[in-house]
Amino acid sequence: MEILEKARVEGWTDEQVVGRVMSGEVELYEIIMRRYNQRLYRVVISILRDAAETEDVIQDAYVRAYEHLSQFEGRAAFSTWLTRIAVHEALARLRKRERIQQLDTNQDEGEISVNPVSPALDPEQTVSKAELSGMLEEAVLALPEQYRTVLIMRDVEEMSTSETAAALSLSEENVKVRLHRGRAMVRRELFARVGATAKNAFPFLGARCDRMVARVFERLPASKNGKDD
């Protein structure tokens, strides 16, 4: 795609892109993925606290969203609808993980053998972070899930209260309460020290982003991609 054409296409609204994808230009779905890879990664890892599992869930969310594009009614922003799908996929994965852990515990006749999920980030993330940004990640990932996810959506992704509430199927008042409690759990001085570097936390750029796009396209039905075999 030529530079001018690419700039024009990337300036389209989500709804415009979705409309073209539904009309057969499936390759334009890449625009949606690149717009929201970062957001979905941050939201999903706040639930699962596992980088590899998070990538799997994001793939599933993109495929599920693609398969149900015709069901997007526009009552909420497309980004909210997409985020909600990713949240549901992540919570389903979390429940499955907990069931497996429970089975493992029962099989050990009461002796707990479950390995706790480590909030540690993978080497690619660790190397790419400044020390204070890493401190923020660790502090946020240490929060209970209900506060952790709201905090990332509101303070890191800068989603509005209404967007966050819609994505998590919560009331706006509940979002406000969780955000307040989450912030209280992370020391004020930590956020003061990190400051603007918060926006650099939980990256999903470069090779990670390219890999996600490629994997999702591999899973989309060949009959819908508008390309010759």
Q: What is the pLDDT of residues 117-127, one digit of tens each?
A: 444 544 444 43
What's the whole-model pTM score?
Answer: 0.73
Taking residue 10's Cβ as centre, other Cβ atoms within 10 Å add up to 13
pLDDT in tens, 3-25: 556 657 778 999 999 999 999 99
Instruction: Give me the DSSP letters along 11-58.
Output: TS-HHHHHHHHHTT-GGGHHHHHHHHHHHHHHHHHHHH--HHHHHHHH
Per-domain residue ranges of the chain: 12-118+203-224, 130-202
Q: In the predicted model, is pLDDT for residue 172 greater than 90?
A: yes
Q: How far apart are CA 147 and CA 97, in angstroms?
A: 20
The fraction of the chain above a pLDDT of 90, given in percent, is 53
Q: How far apart are CA 85 and CA 182, in angstroms?
A: 23
List all residues 6 or more positions away from 97 whose beta carbon is below 8 Å from its beta carbon. 117
In single-letter form, the type of residue at position 32 comes to I
Identify how many contiguous H helices and E strands the chain contains and give both numbers. 12, 0
CATH fold of the domain at 130-202:
Arc Repressor Mutant, subunit A (1.10.10)
pLDDT the model gives residue 109: 46
Q: How far apart are CA 202 and CA 122, in angstroms?
A: 11
For the chain, the average pLDDT equals: 80
pLDDT the model gives residue 175: 97
Domain boundaries 12-118+203-224, corresponding CATH code: 1.10.1740.10
Dihedral sign, Cα of residue 88, residue 94, residue 100, residue 102? negative
- What is the enclosing helix (H) or strand (E) of 20? helix 14-22
Taking residue 147's Cβ as centre, other Cβ atoms within 10 Å add up to 21
pLDDT in tens, 99-114: 776 665 555 544 433 3
Dihedral sign, Cα of residue 36, residue 39, residue 43, residue 48? positive
pLDDT in tens, 54-69: 999 999 999 999 999 9
